[in-house]
Amino acid sequence: MRFAIWQTPFGHMGALAGAAGLISLTLPMESPEDVFRELLGKGEPAHEDSGYFAGLIRALTNYFNGQELNCSCQLDLSRLTPFRRKVLQAVATIPYGQVRSYKWVGESIGCLRGFRAIGQAVGANPFPVLIPCHRVIASDGSLGGYTGGLDHKRRFLRLEGIKIS
């Protein structure tokens, strides 16, 4: 396992990867210590390797500077349930600068009544920003929830030029 922690305009972020690819990415946090606890708090042994994550760090830096995210990281989805995998794969198709509803996610995976489970899957996204869960909103146009807090969600949407009332 390897990890990296770096500074962004929105706060410190971190990434953890194993042999099959990226395992998790944190949302921006206040301190590198918070990021370290989030990434490695379960006691998995890992070594710091910023070079391994150079492409990811560059892509996220560009994103936070207002460019469309362009990252070809290998994501390790093996720790996710099949349902969560389907939800996140649908969310991953939401284009930059656009939003979709939880209902849309449900329809796209053939789960017309599982909005609570869809919300939980979106909320447990181990790859925020890369899989743009911030682009999922309520059917009435309100923000809905966001694991990292609605301030982060608003900032990401504004960064992409999305106007939310």
Residues recognised as catalytic: 133
Tokens of 9: 């305009």
DSSP secondary structure letters along the chain: -EEEEEEETTEEEEEEEETTEEEEEPPPBS-HHHHHHHHHTT----EE-GGGGHHHHHHHHHHHTTPPP---PPB--TTS-HHHHHHHHHHTTSPTT--EEHHHHHHHHT-SS-HHHHHHHHHT-SSBTTB-GGGEE-TTSS----TT-HHHHHHHHHHTT----
Tokens of 141: 């146009």
